[in-house]
Amino acid sequence: MIISVASGKGGTGKTLVATSLALSLKDRCRVQLLDCDVEEPNVHIFLRPAITGSEAVCIPIPRMDEAKCTFCGKCAEICAYHAIAVFPRNVLIFPHLCHGCGACSYLCPETAISEEGKEIGVVESGHADGVDFVQGRLNVGEAMPTPVIRKVKDLVNYEGISIIDVSPGTSCPVVESIKGSDFCLLVTEPTPFGLNDLILAVETVKKLEVPCGVVVNRAGVGNEKVEEYCLKENLPVLLTIPLDKEIARLYSRGVTLAEGMPQWRGNFTELYNRIQELVDERSRCLKR
């Protein structure tokens, strides 16, 4: 079972939920926690894992053999990202614009283009306290997180429960992270910003046809509109975490709810049970 934890708005408690869920389930079955927020990965702060493996993430970028190149301009013409410019006597390649699609090297009539890897990030794996851990880190100055996210997701272990911590927003990195999940938890807060971004996040998971449920964090802080929206849209609110200074203080020190307030473990196992029920129910419906 793959459960992704997303939110739309940043700072609503995705990592808090993902880490505590993982730690609450680890005695029950094999649990893997994958940090797909590769721009700002934070799970490691809470799990303090021992890293045992590390692999660079490279995207293939073109390399021109100028001895073979006839400066025909075909590569520049087909590159949708304007990553190649061909002049009468030389060729310029802009690696930061390249998406690594491979069209130029395949289509070059002179086979003058080969590919070389350009490192844009790293994927690290390890263990923490009985939980399998994987994270991606985008290198500073690099613009494209999705290839790093894909590499993280290549390491999903389909046997147990895999929990994916997603970055905020609704654009390509979020889609890449959620895609293929059995369920998506949307963590929000009961404020106008929380609601606005929850609505966008719900649209995103609907487009991906992934079933979802809501976790309301910092309950009591704003107004009732998030709950009203969930009721209206028939979105199950699966867990409510109150606004609590002690929780905020624990979080600030990098301590999960499952460790700092072990009484919460039961709530997280219950959260998982409800997700399981919803996923089972859906697969029964789909079979019919």
Does 280 participate in binding other proteins (rule CB under 8 A)?
A: no
What residues have CB less than 8 Å from 140, skipping those under 6 apart? none
CB of 277 to other proteins, least distance (A): 28
> Nearest-CA neighbor of 135 among 47, 29, 23?
47
CB of 115 to other proteins, least distance (A): 11
Of 66, 68, 72, 102, the residue at the interface with other proteins (CB under 8 A) is 102
CB of 204 to other proteins, least distance (A): 5
Of 84, 145, 164, 177, the residue at the interface with other proteins (CB under 8 A) is 145
Longest dimension (CA), the chain: 71
| Range in contact with other proteins (rule: CB under 8 A) among 127-135, 142-150, 262-270, 272-280 | 142-150
User: Going edge to edge, which strands form the sheet with 31-35?
Assistant: 50-64, 113-128, 131-138, 31-35, 161-165, 2-6, 183-188, 212-219, 237-242
**Rounded to whole angstroms, how far apart are CA atoms 273 and 265?**
12
- Residues within window 155-174 making contact with other proteins, judged by CB under 8 A: 167-174
The beta strand positions in the chain, using DSSP E, are: 2-6, 31-35, 50-64, 84-86, 91-93, 113-128, 131-138, 161-165, 183-188, 212-219, 237-242
Of 78, 85, 155, 278, the residue at the interface with other proteins (CB under 8 A) is 78
- CA–CA distances in Å: residue 164 to residues 17, 91, 186, 230: 11, 41, 12, 23
| Range in contact with other proteins (rule: CB under 8 A) among 23-31, 64-72, 143-151, 155-163 | 143-151
CB of 28 or CB of 207, closer to other proteins: 207
Of 204, 226, 241, 267, the residue at the interface with other proteins (CB under 8 A) is 204
Number of helical (H) and strand (E) elements in the chain, helices listed first: 11, 11
**Rounded to whole angstroms, how far apart are CA atoms 251 and 244?**
11
Q: At 141, phi and psi to the nearest 5? A: 95, -15
Interface mask toward other proteins for 225-254; x: CB under 8 A: --------------------x--xx-xxxx
One-letter amino acid identity for 22?
A: A
CB of 79 or CB of 161, closer to other proteins: 79
DSSP codes, 107-122: H-TT--EEEEEEEEEE
CB of 109 to other proteins, least distance (A): 12
- Residues within window 14-43 making contact with other proteins, judged by CB under 8 A: 15, 37, 39-40, 42
CB of 192 to other proteins, least distance (A): 5
CB of 171 or CB of 273, closer to other proteins: 171
Helix 14-25 to helix 265-287 angle (10° resolution) is: 90
Residues belonging to the chain: 288
Does 200 participate in binding other proteins (rule CB under 8 A)?
A: yes
Does 97 participate in binding other proteins (rule CB under 8 A)?
A: no
Does 88 participate in binding other proteins (rule CB under 8 A)?
A: no
The residues that touch other proteins, with contacts defined as CB under 8 A, are 8-12, 15, 37, 39-40, 42, 45, 78, 80-81, 99-103, 106-107, 138, 140-145, 167-175, 179, 191-193, 196-197, 200, 203-204, 207-208, 221-223, 245, 248-249, 251-254
